[in-house]
A and B are shown apart, each in its own frame.
Chain A
Amino acid sequence: MLFTLAAAISILAVALICVFLFANGLPAMFQIGIPEFLLGTTWKPGSDMYGIFPMIVGSIYVTAGAILVGVPAGILTAIYLSRFAGSRVASVLRPGIELLAGIPSVVYGFFGLMVLVPFIRATMPGRGLSLLAASMLLGIMILPTVITVAKNALDAVPKSYYEGALALGATRERAVFRILVPAAFSGIMAAVVLGVGRAIGETMAVVMVAGNQPVMPNSIFEGVRTMTANIVMEMGYAADLHRGALIATGVVLFVFIMLISLLFSAIKKRGEER
């Protein structure tokens, strides 16, 4: 009974958020025109121009960059923790990773602003506040998610596979990359998808380092604005159609997240079937 109630509350919350988003966002979207809204490249609330294409692209670029940075490092760390690290190293690394997961995103943002951005400004073209900075920072932020989920997947692979490969004369590396990783593939993909979800929804840290110009970036050294940044930066003062357009941005973001979680459950289901 208590469980049913608890479950009902979370479902109710999701339903309410859905209703709120769609009820407020869809009318604005229709008023602007769906193609103009989704594919328009000019965002000028002052002249009633609400094209969020640069922000959609921004979110995708930043997320892709985060994946490029975070996923290889995360998976290699997971492999290291799962098979190579001695218990002493693991006992230092594991709490470190947990701590990484617990750091508030504004603190990450600070780190990005004080360390990453000046570094990029000093060594590369542009002002530092950039797609690159956001990608690198998000890449670090998704590490704990990727590491934890991928490590669980790797740990779940029977030890006998690994031993069987070694017993045939395979090196540890070959046993890991040819037997262990393929056996854990669906779990590792799930780790990537969760990382994507975390990256695309992240707001605070991105706002602090991404530059936030609502235009299509031409290089990784230019600033970008993500959908989340768009909402959080303008919500405070927006009214009427502007406000509706921001909520409609939330609708688009929501659809993205929904697709990601569908993908996640599809991968998980496939993994269980195998």
Chain B
Amino acid sequence: MMQEIKQDARIAPSLPVISETKMGVEELDLFYGEFQALKDVTLDFPKNEVTALIGPSGCGKSTLLKALNRMNDLVDGCRVDGLVSLDGDDIYRDVPVNDLRRRVGMVFQQPNPFPMSIYDNIAFGPRTHGIKGKAELDVIVEQSLRDAAIWDEVKDRLKKSALGLSGGQQQRLCIARALAVQPEVLLLDESTSALDPISTAKIEDLVVEFASKYTVIMVTHNMLQALRVSTKTAFFLLGEMVEAGDTDELFTHPKDSRTADYVSGRFG
């Protein structure tokens, strides 16, 4: 459905694209102590689409991502001004933080499986949210591992430690772990940068599939990856959002010269 609308929009660019906003930030300022890491950022994340955040190192991509599930709360002296919304609700006021983090899942740059069995890794989230029945957990664990395309590789060793998996497998396990709590939004922070090309390709395929079910927001340093998997891209520079829009459009006809310089590889 979404896809059709989108294609129509491409054929007739004059028609406005009707896409529902899942998350949004408005006039967001974020400070680490005195240092302002995000400056007046306004950006929408359309529902059931993949949005890519790009920009040179230190421009605030991870910071923005962490503002979306309040992982910045862990940072001493971090202050947020402005609105961050999920389905129209202010996440800093109207959504309990643990609910928020269940609904807005996150996969980190470095795979971080817990030092426990593969099964328990996946079951941790559902257990956290009150699912205790073994049969029900079994179903969730299998489904999550299947959705993350790792079931076949681990189905015979569910009780073995997750730390024995390869880096690429660990990252897919972490994706499965995030899926197990049935999130609505998935945040991926350079989640393939520590992986080999084959694992990376597997995860890219997953992300493309996810778009039918989840709203995905991913940080990447890989321009080609952004082109391959995202429909919307936002370019950041020194804490400011320079430009955001349709991915193909932003890469082929950037409006801002700084975006043009970055995507053509002239700096960063």
Chain A positions near chain B (C-beta within 8 angstroms):
86-87, 158, 160-161, 163-171, 174, 178-179, 182-183, 274
- Whether B129 contacts A169 by the Cβ 8 Å rule is yes
Dominant SS at the A interface? helix
Look across to chain A and name the residue whose beta carbon is closest to the beta carbon of B121: A164
Question: Does B114 make an interface contact (CB < 8 A)?
Answer: yes
- Whether A169 contacts B114 by the Cβ 8 Å rule is no
Question: How far does the alpha carbon of A158 sit from the alpha carbon of B124 in the complex, in Å?
Answer: 18
B76: chain A residues at CB < 8 Å are 86-87
B99: chain A residues at CB < 8 Å are 169
B101: chain A residues at CB < 8 Å are 166-169
- Whether A166 contacts B71 by the Cβ 8 Å rule is yes
- Which residue of B99, B110, B114, B129 has the most chain A CB atoms within 10 A of its CB atom? B114
CB distance from B63 to the nearest CB of A (A): 15
- Which residue of A158, A160, A168, A174 has the most chain B CB atoms within 10 A of its CB atom? A168
- Whether A167 contacts B105 by the Cβ 8 Å rule is yes
Task: Pick from B9-17, B174-182, B199-207 the stretch touching chain A.
Answer: B174-182
CB distance from A144 to the nearest CB of B (A): 26
Look across to chain B and name the residue whose beta carbon is closest to the beta carbon of A160: B112
Question: Does B74 make an interface contact (CB < 8 A)?
Answer: yes
CB distance from B198 to the nearest CB of A (A): 24
Given contacts A174-B128, A183-B114, contact A163 B108 (CB under 8 A): yes
Given contacts A164-B114, A166-B74, A170-B128, 14 further A-B pairs with CB under 8 A are A163-B71, A163-B112, A164-B108, A164-B112, A164-B113, A165-B124, A165-B128, A167-B69, A167-B178, A168-B178, A169-B98, A170-B124, A170-B125, A183-B114
Identify 11 residue pairs between A and B in the complex whose beta-carbon atoms are under 8 Å apart, listed by A's number. Answer: A87-B76, A164-B108, A166-B74, A167-B101, A167-B105, A168-B102, A168-B181, A169-B100, A169-B101, A169-B181, A182-B115
A168: chain B residues at CB < 8 Å are 101-102, 105, 124-125, 128, 177-178, 181
B181: chain A residues at CB < 8 Å are 168-169
Q: B115 touches which one: A87, A170, A183 (CB < 8 A)?
A: A183
Question: How far does the alpha carbon of A87 sit from the alpha carbon of B108 in the complex, in Å?
Answer: 26
- The contact string, 1 if C-beta is below 8 Å from chain A, for chain B 165-176, is 000000000100
Question: How far does the alpha carbon of A183 sit from the alpha carbon of B105 in the complex, in Å?
Answer: 23
- Whether A160 contacts B110 by the Cβ 8 Å rule is yes
A171: chain B residues at CB < 8 Å are 98
Question: Does B219 make an interface contact (CB < 8 A)?
Answer: no
Look across to chain A and name the residue whose beta carbon is closest to the beta carbon of B98: A169
A160: chain B residues at CB < 8 Å are 108, 110, 112
Look across to chain B and name the residue whose beta carbon is closest to the beta carbon of A178: B124
CB distance from B162 to the nearest CB of A (A): 11
Question: Does B131 make an interface contact (CB < 8 A)?
Answer: no
- A-facing residues in B78-136 (Cβ within 8 Å): 98-102, 105-106, 108, 110, 112-116, 124-125, 128-129
- Which residue of A163, A167, A171, A182 has the most chain B CB atoms within 10 A of its CB atom? A167
A87: chain B residues at CB < 8 Å are 76
- Whether B174 contacts A164 by the Cβ 8 Å rule is yes
A167: chain B residues at CB < 8 Å are 69, 71, 101, 105-106, 108, 178
B114: chain A residues at CB < 8 Å are 161, 164-165, 179, 183
CB distance from B217 to the nearest CB of A (A): 14
Question: How far does the alpha carbon of A178 sit from the alpha carbon of B127 in the complex, in Å?
Answer: 11
CB distance from A153 to the nearest CB of B (A): 13
